[in-house]
Amino acid sequence: MARQYKSGSAKLRPMDPRRVEASPARHRPAAWRTLAIGLADAWLPRTCALCDQSLRRDEQGICRPCHDDLPGTHAARCTVCGIVVDATAQAGRCVACTRSQPAFDQTIVLADYAPPLDRLIVALKFRGELPLARSLGPALADRLRTHALRTPDLVVAVPLAPRRLARRGFNQSQAIARAVARPLGLPLSATLLRRERETQAQSTLALDARHANLADAFRCAPLRGAGCVVVVDDVMTSGATLQATADALKAAGAGFVVNLVAARTP
């Protein structure tokens, strides 16, 4: 039977005590963590961000059936840019990445930008439903844990231009990055990577104009002891934004850059 997804976006819920950000869960005693989870299940029933069905104790944010049904979640992808490829692709790379290596080294994708995941991202990005970032974080953290080709040292998010950040009031990619870094115990920087200038919205440009629009748009402070940097973004389309951020990170000393994106346009 096909799963029945919620219409519209997820409703805002009270803060779940399992997700309080004051101290990472890995620093709490196991007995206290187990008790806290049990109490939270009783007082604040957790539901899937996509279908609104109750989550099991070992599920976070998105239930396993919904996760497994996401379009493209099990597809063979280019290890470099994350585009769907034939399972027999040479060295797991698409033709474009085989011909020319981008500035980034790996892309890890949760699923395609298609229903129902696209509605969740739109609700997060344009309606400010920030709890949805905490629904995406655990699934992305699991992907990073199992697919990263190098051990990550640091997590950053694609930064917004100051004017756009002031207008929106939050950076959705930073919210997702925070939800990724915490369960993995990885350091997260909100200031290391910055956008130097205002640029035209990528969605308004033709694909061949997107790279020029972002040329030298990002700067990164010198990196010390961070050989592998994970860059979190909500959606990857042409890869121009992540190419520009990887350029800045490599110029600052990063040895390996991994893109971690919630959705990839097919």
Distance of CA 218 to the CA centre of its chain: 19
**Helix-helix angle 117-127:172-184, to 10 degrees:** 110
**Measured between alpha carbons, how far is 139 from 59 in angstroms, rounded to an integer?**
9
Spatial separation of the C-alpha atoms in residues 95 and 112, rounded to whole Å: 20
Q: Count of CB atoms within 10 A of residue 36's CB?
A: 16
pLDDT at 170: 93
- pLDDT per residue as tens digits for the range 68-109: 999 999 999 999 999 999 877 777 899 999 999 999 999 999
3-state SS, one letter per residue, for 146-165: HHCCCCCCEEEECCCCHHHH
| Tens of pLDDT, residues 189-242 | 999 998 876 555 555 555 555 555 565 778 999 998 789 999 999 999 989 899
Q: d(Cα 39, Cα 265) in Å, to the nearest integer?
A: 39
User: Which pLDDT score, from 0 to 100, does residue 114 have?
Assistant: 96
Using an 8 Å Cβ cutoff, are 202 and 231 in contact? no
pTM of the model: 0.79
Three-class SS state of 59: coil
Whole-number pLDDT of residue 83: 96
Which SS3 state, helix, strand or coil, does residue 13 take?
Answer: coil
